[in-house]
Amino acid sequence: MISEIPQSQEDLQQHFRDSLRFLEDSSKSYDDGFEGESKRLAATIRTLVHDTSRSKSLLTHLGTKEVLFIDSAYANFPDNTMSYCGLVAMHMGTGAAPRYIALLDSAKTKPVPFDAWWDGVIFDDGRKNTITRKELILSIANKDGGSHVDEKLDEKYGNLSRNNSMGWRISQDGQDLGPMRAPEKASVRQIAHEVLKTLKPGYEKSHPKIGGFTISGIGHSPRISVPEPPQDETPLLSLGAPCHCGSHRKYKKCHGRVFKAD
pLDDT per position as a tens digit, 106-116? 999 999 999 99
Average pLDDT of 227-232? 40
Residue 88 lies in a domain: yes
Residue 170 lies in a domain: yes
Rounded CA separation 193/190 (Å): 5
* Whole-number pLDDT of residue 245: 47
Residue 37 lies in a domain: no
Residue 104 lies in a domain: yes
Q: Does 221 have pLDDT greater than 80?
A: no
Residue 42 lies in a domain: no
Residue 247 lies in a domain: yes
- Following DSSP, what letter does each residue of the chain receive, concatenated? -----PPPHHHHHHHHHHHHHHHHHHHHHHHTT-TTHHHHHHHHHHHHH---SS---HHHHHT-TTSPEEE-PPP--TT--S-EETTEEEEEETTEEEEEEE-GGGS--EEE-HHHHHT-EEEE-SSS-EEEHHHHHHHHHHHBSSS-B-SS--HHHHHHHHS-TT--EEEETTEEEEE---HHHHHHHHHHHHHHHHHSTT----PPP-SBEEEES--S-SEEEPPPPPSSB---EETTSBPTTS-SSBGGGTTT-B----
Residue 190 lies in a domain: yes
Residue 10 lies in a domain: no
Banded model confidence at residue 217, pLDDT cuts 50, 70, 90: low
Count up the domains in the chain and report the number: 1
Q: Does 153 have pLDDT greater than 90?
A: yes
Rounded CA separation 8/178 (Å): 52
Q: Does 247 have pLDDT greater than 70?
A: no
* Whole-number pLDDT of residue 214: 60
Banded model confidence at residue 12, pLDDT cuts 50, 70, 90: very high
What global pTM score does this model have?
0.82
Q: Does 230 have pLDDT greater than 50?
A: no
Which residues are CB-contacts of 5 (< 8 A; sequence separation ≥ 6)? none
The rounded mean pLDDT for the chain is 83
Q: The domain containing residue 228 runs over which residues?
A: 67-253
